[in-house]
Structure 1
């Protein structure tokens, strides 16, 4: 591998030209010198190739624009981009996120300093609203992290990771059956074969304005993603001896999401089961209290969670 291996950046996109332009500009602004870009348009009503052409991408190694003939969803669109990538590393960027200029440089440097068993390097995220930073999320989980992920730990979203291209030969591609939790599903599988490394800097920018991501579709997550995820990974949780913590974590995540979207009956059901499985989850009690109170906002739970993070360190 050369000192500056080629990094392929895969950007799946659908009908968000202004956000796509911002994302592509952040790729063009990377300090890392050897980058190819693969944009896959998931059959937007108006093709987005003109948006790609209007961004100055002349400093990149190459630019590929692909367009699905029909809408296929996030995972299938991302997978098409992966198959078109030619780099030694592959990075992902959602079209409503952007990167800080040193993101790829720091990740390639981290790979170079890591052991050969590392297959994924991730960075932290800066959250912005109306263009202003409101929070940062930086995790430090590293090494062989399968058990941690099964217990509900997080690392990053797709936009924050860089992987070796050969990992797809070992663990396969993201599972196209999942309409949400697509990144979590693939990260768990990847973690069974590769160690993870963290770059503890918030080098992804996620914009919260008009956040209409597929993960916002609560009913699909409840009826499709959640049962499929539990069915898929319960055997692995049993193998690692963490079946009970795994179920507590997944039902807890669903309960928090239900509170966020005002599905309070669901929230009480999910959080009640989660807390029976793990009565030490202090944050879960805050969300359950919000659901029991019947307020049509999850702001009380959010404020309580911020307090726990600040004072207790959860």
Structure 2
């Protein structure tokens, strides 16, 4: 039985997976097991490539490989992983991200020192091999729920999280009806239940692609409706100002999706008649200029 179980849900891009696995092998904390859940579907090109890669590690008893019969999505893959895990603590690692060597050591120490059941850390974002951002320090708070729901603080992906298996069991893990922002959905439910430790250390490397997984406007609206259906009753308990800010945040996110999809009519309608405040309009306008320069003038 390992102290920490690391779950890698793998779908597509097997060429990045080896670095993710190597980052676990390079941990200073060595009492771990690694469970790779292959969600590509049996017989697909990516599944065959992933299995070929995992065969290189078949002599390491700490590394386990689970193949899904068919693609079921990231939430299902993560649930399969943690439910089969033996560790007291669970970490998730996206198959294109990497842990820095002290990640497991630092987070185990944080949980054991504080007695809390979950902790997140800061992260570096890399694009095309170049570091483009380091996440800012998050001030200590009694509760992170409202700032997180408002998008004011960012714990990035599940790759920054270490959580006790008992807490995951308590909330029944990921909601498999969510095909987008599964980590956000889970974190909101976790923050309702438990206190969170936020570590100032930078322990994760995120390898980002601005154009990866961009939804269509229609699909984003469906996700937004699903999200609101689940959490509106919670949001209604927030102070009035926070409720208004959540609406601003939702409109802003939809406007960004419209921008990515070049739906100029929707973007301009939301920008001018969506009830956005000046600061939000300014930030969206800046985003518009940056995206235009980056992708349409190069």
Give the TM-score band, short-chain normalised.
0.7 to 0.9
Instruction: Assess if the C-alpha contact under 8 Å between 2:122 and 2:201 holds in 1.
Output: yes
Residue 249 of structure 1 corresponds to which residue in structure 2? Answer: 249
Residue 277 of structure 2 corresponds to which residue in structure 1? Answer: 279
Q: 1:235 aligns with which of 219, 233, 236?
A: 233
1:15 matched to 2:18? The reply is no
Structure 1 residue runs of 5 or longer lacking an equivalent are: 301-314
Structure 2 residue runs of 5 or longer lacking an equivalent are: none
Could you tell me how far apart the structure 2 residues matched to 1:56 and 1:143 are?
45
Q: Deviation of residue 79 (structure 1)?
A: 1.0
Q: 1:224 to 1:10 in 2, by over 3 A?
A: same
Could you tell me how far apart the structure 2 residues matched to 1:222 and 1:235 are?
21
May I ask how many residue pairs the two structures share in their alignment? 285
Q: Deviation of residue 43 (structure 1)?
A: 2.9
Q: Which moved more, 1:189-198 or 1:259-268?
A: 259-268
Task: Map Cα deviations across residues 209-228 of structure 1 (whole Å, 9 max, x no partner).
Answer: 5x6643x2243652321111
1:53 matched to 2:51? The reply is no
Residue 113 of structure 1 corresponds to which residue in structure 2? Answer: 113
Instruction: Assess if the C-alpha contact under 8 Å between 2:2 and 2:33 holds in 1.
Output: no
Q: Deviation of residue 289 (structure 1)?
A: 6.6
SS at match of 1:195: coil
Instruction: Assess if the C-alpha contact under 8 Å between 1:75 and 1:175 holds in 2.
Output: yes
Could you tell me how far apart the structure 2 residues matched to 1:178 and 1:67 are?
21
Q: Deviation of residue 19 (structure 1)?
A: 0.6
After superposition, where does 1:157-196 map in structure 2 within 5 Å? 157-196=157-196
Residue 40 of structure 2 corresponds to which residue in structure 1? Answer: 43
Residue 101 of structure 2 corresponds to which residue in structure 1? Answer: 101
Could you tell me how far apart the structure 2 residues matched to 1:78 and 1:34 are?
20
Instruction: Assess if the C-alpha contact under 8 Å between 2:252 and 2:284 holds in 1.
Output: no
Residue 259 of structure 1 corresponds to which residue in structure 2? Answer: 259
Residue 77 of structure 2 corresponds to which residue in structure 1? Answer: 77
Could you tell me how far apart the structure 1 residues matched to 2:66 and 2:263 are?
38
SS at match of 1:188: helix
Backbone CA RMSD of aligned residues: 2.6
Q: Normalized against structure 2, the TM-score is what? A: 0.85
Residue 28 of structure 2 corresponds to which residue in structure 1? Answer: 31
Task: Map Cα deviations across residues 247-296 of structure 1 (whole Å, 9 max, x no partner).
Answer: 2222222223433443333333444566x2x626x2442314765xxx79
Q: Normalized against structure 1, the TM-score is what? A: 0.81
Could you tell me how far apart the structure 2 residues matched to 1:128 and 1:198 are?
21
SS at match of 2:106: helix
Q: Deviation of residue 124 (structure 1)?
A: 1.4
Task: Map Cα deviations across residues 18-72 of structure 1 (whole Å, 9 max, x no partner).
Answer: 11111101111011121111110013413322212314884xx722211110111
Residue 145 of structure 2 corresponds to which residue in structure 1? Answer: 146
Q: 1:267 to 1:49 in 2, by over 3 A?
A: same
